[in-house]
Structure 1
Amino acid sequence: MRISELAQASGVAVATIKYYLREGLLPAGRATSATQAAYDDSHLQRLRLVRSLVEVGGLPLAKVRAVLDVLEDPGPDPYAAVASALAALPPYVSNEPPHRRATEALDAIGLAHEPDSPAVAQLEAALVGLEAAGRPLDAGALGRYAEQIAVIAQREVASVERDRDSAAPDQLADVVQDVVLGTILVEPVLLALRRLTHAALFRERHPQADGG
């Protein structure tokens, strides 16, 4: 397909596609003349991935490259590949250990973790923010959240492993992409559902507020 057709199929403007090509986020097409190139489904899939990372995930280009680098060369270890890709996702906080609050809380609820994981730093920043607002979250409350999140996470991991063999070298990049896209695209859904459920529960428990 021509670049105009690629733009139509992906919903990404031609100018943006050319920018991604210049930045190396999208592989060059097959040259058909001195000024034109042909693109295929692999370009369309890569473009949709980049668009999700940039527009939905809010990743800066340097972090997009980090995810793409993992996809290009995931290495032999599925855990390391997924961890490297997820490390590129926001929020971006200082990752200078030790993260005392987060580490103690995770140890208290028995959740296995790597001390230098960006997610531990993100949890530390969140716990510090709660304390600063006068709303500290103790290990018991964190554990109750973790129990509910574990149900969702187990279902998601099982789905990825069912659809793809995470140990197969030729499928590892697809597994990483599934996990990254699942994280980026589903987290906004979870946030929206949480807020809608809060509103529905308050409406149910305080019906006199309806209609003023």
Structure 2
Amino acid sequence: MRIGELSRETGVAVPTIKYYVREGLLPAGRLTSPNQAGYDDSHVRRLRLIRGLMDVGGLSVSAVREVLAAVDSSDESVHKVLGAAQFAITPPSTGEPEGLEEARRAVAELVRRRGWHAEPDHPSAEAMAVALATFRRVGHGAFEEVLDDYAEACERIAAADLAYVGRHAEVDGIVESVVVGTVLGDAVLAAMRRLAHVDASARQYDEGARGVSGGADTP
């Protein structure tokens, strides 16, 4: 297909497609003449992946580039590639709130207590420490009482994620499935957590509630 057809198939504007090619996110089409290039289903798949990472995952162009480099890596184990992708998608810390060192120790202790195989310098560990330090700074340090509950839920989610990949991904697509599932799964998890909050709030604080405003009643 030509670039116009690729644009219609994916809903991505032609100038944007050309930009992605220049930025190294999308492979160039195969030249069919000096002024024409051909594209195929692999370009359609990659474009949809790029848009998903950006639109739902909220990643920048540079972060998408790093994630795609991890997806395309064929010389590393799935575990190492997933680690590289997580480094790419975890936003860097933008400061050091008061109490950060104490929060880091709390995170390290959680990792040790749960027996997790995670490095203390993983960006997600640092992001969690920053969040905990901020909780403390705004007067909600007691939030740490629920960390093990959170950890138990996350262990189940991680196991479900990888079980899904094992059931539904071909061998050569496992890396992409795990990486993309991590990015887009974060969006699903955040939205589902909020829905669960609505339900839990109704059950605990509004005993007579049968549904949320604007929604259908539930049995």
TM-score tier by shorter-chain length is 0.7 to 0.9
Matches within 5 A, 1:13-28: 13-28=13-28
Hey, what does 1:194 align to over in structure 2? 193
Q: Secondary structure at the match of 1:24?
A: coil
- Structure 1 position 165, deviation (Å): 6.7
Hey, what does 1:81 align to over in structure 2? 81
Counterparts in 2 of 1:90 and 1:57: CA distance versus 1, 3 Å: farther
Counterparts in 2 of 1:133 and 1:139: CA distance versus 1, 3 Å: closer
Structure 2 CA distance, aligned partners of 1:92 and 1:197?
A: 29
Matched, 1:121 2:126: yes
Counterparts in 2 of 1:191 and 1:76: CA distance versus 1, 3 Å: closer
Hey, what does 2:39 align to over in structure 1? 39
Counterparts in 2 of 1:71 and 1:200: CA distance versus 1, 3 Å: closer
- Structure 1 position 39, deviation (Å): 0.3
Q: TM-score, normalised by structure 2?
A: 0.82
Kept in 1: contact 2:82–2:178 (CA 8 A): yes
Q: Give the counterpart of 1:112 among 111, 117, 128.
A: 117
- Structure 1 position 137, deviation (Å): 4.8
Matches within 5 A, 1:44-193: 44-93=44-93, 99-137=104-142, 140-164=145-169, 171=172, 174-193=173-192
- The CA RMSD over aligned residues, in Å, is 2.6
- Structure 1 position 126, deviation (Å): 1.3
2:160 counterpart letter in structure 1: R
Q: Secondary structure at the match of 1:88?
A: helix
Structure 1 CA distance, aligned partners of 2:19 and 2:91?
A: 25
Tell me how many residue pairs correspond in the alignment: 205
Q: Secondary structure at the match of 1:116?
A: coil
Kept in 2: contact 1:95–1:118 (CA 8 A): no
Hey, what does 2:12 align to over in structure 1? 12
- Structure 1 position 77, deviation (Å): 2.2
String of CA shifts for 1:42-95, please: whole Å, max 9, x gaps: 111111111122222222222212112222324232211111012111333269
Q: TM-score, normalised by structure 1?
A: 0.84
Gaps of 5+ in 1: none
Counterparts in 2 of 1:107 and 1:201: CA distance versus 1, 3 Å: same
Hey, what does 1:3 align to over in structure 2? 3
Kept in 1: contact 2:90–2:123 (CA 8 A): no
Structure 1 CA distance, aligned partners of 2:111 and 2:143?
A: 11
Structure 2 CA distance, aligned partners of 1:95 and 1:120?
A: 15
Residue identity (%): 40
- Structure 1 position 150, deviation (Å): 1.5
Q: Secondary structure at the match of 2:90?
A: coil
2:148 counterpart letter in structure 1: G
